[in-house]
Structures are given as structure tokens and as C-alpha cells.
Structure 1
């Protein structure tokens, strides 16, 4: 059996269980079967066939379980070697669920039912319940089950290992719980404004807003604790931690608002497009919660790193953080010019520059352009500070930039801009639909910003210019040291973009 090793700043994860293909296939088959059964139970509670047939839902079970077993085998043989942490299991499972949604509900199932394959927005919207179900209740569950079975059959879940894992998880869970508490307090502000707490309290068979608030904080802490346990080994700094929190918030929107909460309220899962559109405000809230969770968790971990690891003279880096961070801020501001100009093309086409000028009390397009470029510089500076250590290749830089742009679409036009202009949030479907062109602009901005920043660091970062002695030169991480879930996170960002297209495709 082979060994895969990669390490975080204070946690090293070693996995010696890359089982042979036959064992991986067996674990994948079992994981696919169990996850497929869970998915079938949840989906049929709403009288929806997993094969999208109009009748004979009980008769579809056997075919569905056979297909689930086969997809589990394919998952194990294609992604199994990448599933070496809980976070990797979840993310690659979600990605595989998305892939199966394209192959199954959008392609094979219409053929099975004697219907043409259309691949249109309307067909995708009709299959939206299967998208949410396959992404989380099937894909994520399959990934975690596969990881557990692979470790079990490899003998890595013996009492001694379980004890060590448990001790490590306690520390990670405490840090995550603190971060989750901060995120829950912010998310709770929106929930209080829309009077959502009485609905949450119905889980406890009461309509008390105070009880709902207490339950919300408890859930926030639990989600934060699980975040710390699941993703610590995949976090590579402030920027990546924010990105993981962003993705985890999206997953919990599906798992919480559309799945668990309706089940606890006795109405079954609510995966329909209409219900998802009604819960769009909750989606933004979960995303913002995830961002705060990721940022807070990274700051907690970084504080520990500075106090107890970097303070050791043997662990000090050849360049001080002050110089490095100032340079990253400057390069980020310069790189923001290309991103800001790319975004300007979208703003000119949609005539939104005058509204941007309203931030400073103006209404002229030229004033809006100046304000826009100023904001772009600030955002570019934050990118440089957050992702300075995660731009090893142009491909990874482009991917992180697109994620960063999508993050700022939620923070900017749906949150900060409305607060500045009107004193209220715009976490609703109407505002999101009106700002859909801005979504494209933000993703363009992030891509141009990140690629330009990568180009600048090659030329003006003395570490990358080999200005240091040979034994202290910058060495890009080797493939085995890269987090195995980064590519899955980037794909999950595409999934969220797809969900937004489907949600906004019919308006409010």
C-alpha cells in the first residue's frame, strides 16, 4: 500500500490506506449503495422518483440502487486515491454527485423514460431536486462513507489510532466552535430582522424567538466544530480558509435549510426549485456565515501558529511578515487595475456606473468609474494579503480568483452596497436577479486580478526571483503536498454558479 502525506501548519495528516483497486471498488460499491438508499428515502418522501419517472416509484428502487452501486465503484476508482481526509471525501463526493446529475437526470433518465434529451435551462430546472439531493445526500455522504470504509479495511481505525484522532479532533473542534459562534452571531442578525427564529423554534415544539435564537447559536457552534474537524488539513492560510467556509456554508444551505430543518418540522425534504427560490435569503446568510467562519477559524489557527510555532527561532522565515504583507498589498492593488477594467466593460454595458457613484452621493458615470476602481483597489489589496501563498501556478491563481470574485458578489452588491446606500440588506431573489450581470463582472474581475497578481509576483517578489540563499529559496509545493481538495473546491464553485443560474433563471 502506498503512502500519501501532506501537512498543515500545525497538523500533519498521513494516510497509508490507498487500497488496491479491488478493495477500493468494494468500498465504493458499499458507499454508493448506502448513500443511494439514503438519497432514495429522502427523495421519495416527496413522491419524486430518483429516475424521474412519472409512475412506479417503488419499482424504480432496484434500478436506482444498482446505478448507485455502479457510480460508487466509478467514484472509488477515479477519485478514491484523492479521498484521504474528511474534507476531501465531502468535496469530491459533491463533485461526483454533480457529474452524475449531468449524466443521469439530464441525459440517461430522459432516454429511459422515452423522452428527448434537451439539455436546456428548463430541463435543468425541472431536475433541480435531484441536483441538490445528488450533491449532498448522495455525493457528500458517499465520500465520507467511502473514506470510513477504506480506513476501516486498511486497519487504521484501531483503538490506538482512534484515541490519537480523537485527541486531535477535540482541539480542532474547539477552534471551529469559536469561529462558528462568531458566524452565528452575524447570521442571527439577518434571521432576527426577518423574524425567522420562531420558525426555527418549532423544531423544539415552541414558537419562542428566544428559544429559536438559542437553537440557532447551538447549531452554529456545531457546524463550526465540524468545519474545524473536516477541513483543517486542507487549509493553507486565510484565503483558502475563507474559500472552504464559503463552500461549507453553501453545503449547509442544502443540508440545513432544504433538508434537515424541513424533516424536523415534519414536512420532508424541500428540494424543489420554488422552495429554493423562497429560501434565497437563507442561501446568502449561509454563505456569509461560512465566510466569517472560515476567516475566524484561520485567525484562531494563525494566532496559535504565531505564539507557539513561529516564535521559535528555528521556525522563523527568512523574510519578515511585515515586508511580505506590504508587498502583497501593493501588488494586489496594481493587479486590481486589470480586474477593474474587465469589470468596467460589464458595468458600461449594463449602465450601472451611475448607481455606483451613489456611494459618494454622485450620479455621473465618470464618478462611478473612479469609485469602482477605488473599490477594486481595496478588494485587490485584500486578495494579495489573503492569497499571496496560494498562487503557485497560473491555473490555481485563476481558480482562486474566480472563487474570490464570486465571494465578493455576495459581500458587495447583496450586502455592503445596499447597507451603504439604503441601510438594509439585499438578500432576496429580486435583488440577486437585478445584479446577475454583476455576478459575471465579479468573476471576470477575480480571474483577471488573480492572473495579473501571479504575473507580478514572478517579477517583483524577491523570494520568487531567487534572491535568497539556495537553501532558503522559495520552493513550490510538490504534488503530494498539495491539498487534494482544492480542485474539488473550484468545481464546487461552478456548482454554486450553476445553482444561481437556475435560481435566477425564472426570477422571483
Structure 2
């Protein structure tokens, strides 16, 4: 038996034990939240009891088991410790769907409805599972041999300064954009953004990445901070207890879009500042990042065509809810024909931006659709909920009723993004398939594809899709 054959099971075994310990840490945090929420008896129902202490014990046993499974998966996939946070968050949401909405009613003898009402009643459990997944992933990462060294490397003074500078730029832009109404719209976000900037290097791998992937990562990062700052710290400071009920969460969604935009902005500016530093201060050209397979104007053509295909698909969604006349008003026109023209022009423009920001990232259909869906979700927040009402001269659609009413637009943006990513990947592969390593550049592309799969990119795609699916649950 070879050393590699022995080493594999040993690593998996260590992963399971470390995952169990990390799951216990995540279970403690989730259990503390359930104490504040008064939901421990809901878990004790599994043992035919309503005793809170029994609910806590069962929660810990489940957490250790689920944490060990996470450790097994992370060790088997050889996921880097610096990439684990978003995997943990996606893992937590997955277990909310599988555990709270499916297994818990089955095991407790309750009807499993999978209805909107059932999901809204389980909203507190959703945030608990997110905390469980995030804490489990962070503790598991720290338990790895390189965990502490990676964290220390990301906390270098110049890296923290870059994060703080990125947060300051984004916070200043948001305050300037809202002017006198910044306080009402943003709340404590400008101050929280500074904490987001300092913390961002901890969830960033340190490897140079394009602006597009950074925006996707930052959007998920902003969602995490909305939960931590607005749904956890703020109520604890105000009332000394958590309130994750659906009505309270629906009211808090007023702050969700600016947090998502702040996270995306911090990630994008952080990356650009890093690129600027490399351009100014790094003499070794091998350390300067260049996109693999950039093709100049042909990339613009791919984006326009892909955006047109996605725009037609999106247009049918908007046509069903009769939004095209509203789109036409963006340029002072009226009618469905003008709406279609404006819509398709915008779709092609966003398509071009996608190919410029994500060129060389769609290594296959899955990655193309993943990045496209994530980019479509970002544009729903940035374009559908923010830019469109701003151009129309109406209040931003950041309130629970307007977010709920814009659900058709969310579906359209996701369909548009998925089609955009798929068509772009297909066009790129027709000309230059990544699997044919005919040159050093193509070999580098194949290596980068494997790096993406081993990194947090699939977790980001999954998490973005799950966030989009929970939006109607949050706003009711």
C-alpha cells in the first residue's frame, strides 16, 4: 500500500474529528441563540419532550454529527482553510432546508408542507444555521495545520490598511450618494463598513482575483454582515435579546440592499487597490496578474451577444408582469416596443461588463452558469432595486413591500444571468477550449480552473442562489 493511499484515510479521519469539535463550537453559538429566542423546546420535541435542557443536549449532539460530516467533506475535497467560510455558510443553509424544513417535521410527527408559511415560521432557524455553518467553518479552518499561519498572513498591517481604505472609500461614496438622507437610508452602515473592511482580508484568499469574482464574494460578505450587525448586534444592544421573527426580519430587509452593495464595493475596491500596489511597487512581472485569454474587441462582441440572449429570456419574464412600459420611462419613452428596445440595450451593456469582468472564468457550463447567476443577483440589487427607481425619480425599492413586489424582477435577473454565463462560456470554448493545453497559456487556464473548483467559487454560487431563494421568505 502506497503512502498516498494511507495518507488519504488519515486526513479524512482527522477532518472528521476536527469537524466534530468545530461543530460543537457552532452548536454552542446556535444553542445560545436559541436560549435568547426561546426555541430550545422545539428541538426537544424530537425526544417527545418540551424541556429546554434536553433541547440543548440534542442540539449539541446533532451539531457534533453534522460538523463531523462537514469535516469529512472538507478533508476529502482538500478545500483550503482560507476558503472555508463560504462553504460553511452554504452548508448551514443547506441543513436549514434539509433539517428544519424537512427532517424535523418528519421526525416530530408534524406535517411537512414546504409552504411559505412554514418557511417564514422557521426564519429564526435559518439565521441560526448560518451562524452554525460559519462558526463551524472558521473553527475547522483554525484547527488545520496552516489555519493560524494563513490567518496571520491575512492580518498583516498593509493588508488591513488596504481593507480599511477600501471601506472608507465605499462608505464615503454611499454617504455622498444619499446626501442628507444617508442616516435614514444607511443607519450605522458607514461605521459598520469600517469593520467590514478590516474583516474582509480574513475571508479573502490573498490570491489575485478579477473584479467580477470579487463583486460576487463581496455580495455574500455583505449578506453575512447584515445578519451580524443589523439582526444580531443591534437588537442585543437595544433590548438585550434577539428577535429573528419573520416580521422583525422583514422590517430589517430595508437595510439589506445597502449592506449587499457595501460588501460588493469593498471587495471590488480592495482588489483594485491590490492591483494598483502590484503595478506600482512590484518589479517581478511574474507576480503581476493578467487575465488568461483576453481577446480585446471580440470579448465585447461575446458580451453583447450573450447579453442579448439573456435579455430576450428576461424580457419574457417582464412581459408577463407588464413592466416594459416602465422600462421605457427610463429614457422618457412609453410603450412595450420602446421598453423592449431599452431593455435589450441595457442587457447587452451588462453582458459586455460581464465578459470584461469574468473573462476566462467560465471554464465549463457549471462555472459559467454559477458566475452568471451570481452576477444577475448582484444586478437585481444594484440595478433593479437601486438604479432603476433612482433614474425614474421615485424612492428606492428597499422596503419590504417593494422588494416583495419586485420578485418577478429577481427571477428575471437570475434567468438573465444564467443564460449570460452559459452563452459566454459556450462562445469562449468554441474558439479556445480550455482542455486543449496547446500552449503555456492554455495549461495555465486548466490549472486555474482546478484552483477555482478547489476554492470557494462553487460555494459562492450556491450561497447566492440560496440567498435569492430565501428573499421571498424574508420579506413575506
TM-score by length of 2: 0.88
1:122 aligns to what? 117
Q: CA deviation at 1:191?
A: 9.7
1:186 and 1:192 map into 2 onto residues whose CA distance is 13
Aligned length: 466
1:116 and 1:28 map into 2 onto residues whose CA distance is 32
In structure 1, stretches of 5+ residues that fail to align are: 4-15, 201-215
> 1:83–1:484: 8 Å Cα contact kept in structure 2?
no
Aligned ranges 1:419-458 → 2 under 5 Å:
419-422=390-393, 424-458=395-429
> 1:133–1:271: 8 Å Cα contact kept in structure 2?
no
CA distance 1:326–1:174, shift in 2 (3 Å)? farther
Residue range with higher mean Cα deviation, 24-33 or 86-95? 86-95
CA distance 1:25–1:291, shift in 2 (3 Å)? same
2:56 aligns to what? 61
Aligned ranges 1:251-270 → 2 under 5 Å:
251-270=224-243
Aligned ranges 1:77-156 → 2 under 5 Å:
77-82=72-77, 84-85=79-80, 87-135=82-130, 137-151=131-145
Q: Note the alpha carbon deviations across 1:142-179, whole angstroms, 9 max, x for none.
A: 1001111233xx8x75xxx58x9347633322222211
2:289 and 2:173 map into 1 onto residues whose CA distance is 35
2:257 aligns to what? 284
**Equivalent position SS for 1:363:** coil
1:320 and 1:77 map into 2 onto residues whose CA distance is 34
> 2:299–2:355: 8 Å Cα contact kept in structure 1?
yes
Q: Note the alpha carbon deviations across 1:451-505, whole angstroms, 9 max, x for none.
A: 11112223456x9698x9834446433365235211111110122112212124x
1:319 and 1:87 map into 2 onto residues whose CA distance is 23
CA distance 1:402–1:425, shift in 2 (3 Å)? same
1:348 aligns to what? 319
> 1:51–1:64: 8 Å Cα contact kept in structure 2?
no
Greater helix fraction, Structure 1 or Structure 2: 2
Q: CA deviation at 1:345?
A: 0.8
Query: 1:29 and 2:20 equivalent?
Result: yes
Q: Aligned to 1:246, which of 215, 219, 223?
A: 219
> 2:106–2:112: 8 Å Cα contact kept in structure 1?
yes
1:193 aligns to what? 181
Residue range with higher mean Cα deviation, 27-36 or 179-188? 179-188
Query: 1:182 and 2:169 equivalent?
Result: yes
Q: CA deviation at 1:84?
A: 4.7
Q: CA deviation at 1:419?
A: 0.6
1:19 and 1:306 map into 2 onto residues whose CA distance is 43
1:172 aligns to what? 159
Aligned ranges 1:41-52 → 2 under 5 Å:
41-49=32-40, 51-52=42-43
TM-score by length of 1: 0.83
Q: Note the alpha carbon deviations across 1:414-460, whole angstroms, 9 max, x for none.
A: 10011111154221122212211111111111111111111222345
In structure 2, stretches of 5+ residues that fail to align are: none
> 1:234–1:484: 8 Å Cα contact kept in structure 2?
no
Q: Note the alpha carbon deviations across 1:264-303, whole angstroms, 9 max, x for none.
A: 2233222221111101121111011111112111211222
